[in-house]
Copies of this chain bind each other. A is one copy, B any other.
Amino acid sequence: MVFHKFFKIQSDRRPTFHDVTEQVGEILAISGINNGILVVFSQHTTCSVLIQEASDDVNYWGTDLLMQDLVNVLEKIIPTCRTEGQYLHPGTKHIEAAAGREELPSWSLNTDAHLRSVILGRSITIPVEDGKMVLGEFGRIYFADFDQVRARERYVRVQIVGE
């Protein structure tokens, strides 16, 4: 059996981390699949899907402290892109192609997000046993959007294969 469903979240103009554990669990319940694997996937190349413990505490923006610690580490190795020339990408052809899609040049200044998200990965795969995801005592599923140039609607895709 294969089951697929997606839902949307709204990101902000800073790295955002949505706890989507409940929504994914509801999709698993609807699927009727009891044993197999469940994939949570980002179709966006500046986003990731992660499993992490919930922080309990949040910062003034509402971001889990553990996720802000992650952003702080990433900022050191992949600084936020503030202007063209800071990274090689986007080049002139890319900016032209973006203009053809009626995108502002500044919208392409998300190189940091492309690099951060590819290191964290585009998906997670979770065992399903007796109708439940095996996440341990503390595991939560987060959809991470590292893009800081635009607030956007994002697709969270769930694919379940099993019996």
User: Which residues of A are in contact with B by a Cβ distance under 8 Å?
Assistant: 1-2, 4, 35-37, 39, 41, 43-45, 50-53, 55-57, 59, 64-66, 68-70, 72-73, 76-78, 87-94, 96-97, 111, 114-115, 118-129, 134-136, 138-139, 155, 157, 159, 161-163
Cβ of B43 and Cβ of A134 under 8 Å apart? yes
Query: Given A115-B70, A115-B73, A89–B55 Cβ distance below 8 Å?
Result: yes
The residue in chain B whose Cβ has the minimal distance to the Cβ of A133 is: B43
Query: Given A2-B162, A92-B57, A122-B124, A69–B111 Cβ distance below 8 Å?
Result: yes
What chain B residues lie within 8 Å of A64 (beta carbons)?
89
Q: How far is the CA of A55 from the CA of B93 in the complex (A)?
A: 8
What chain B residues lie within 8 Å of A159 (beta carbons)?
36-37, 127-128
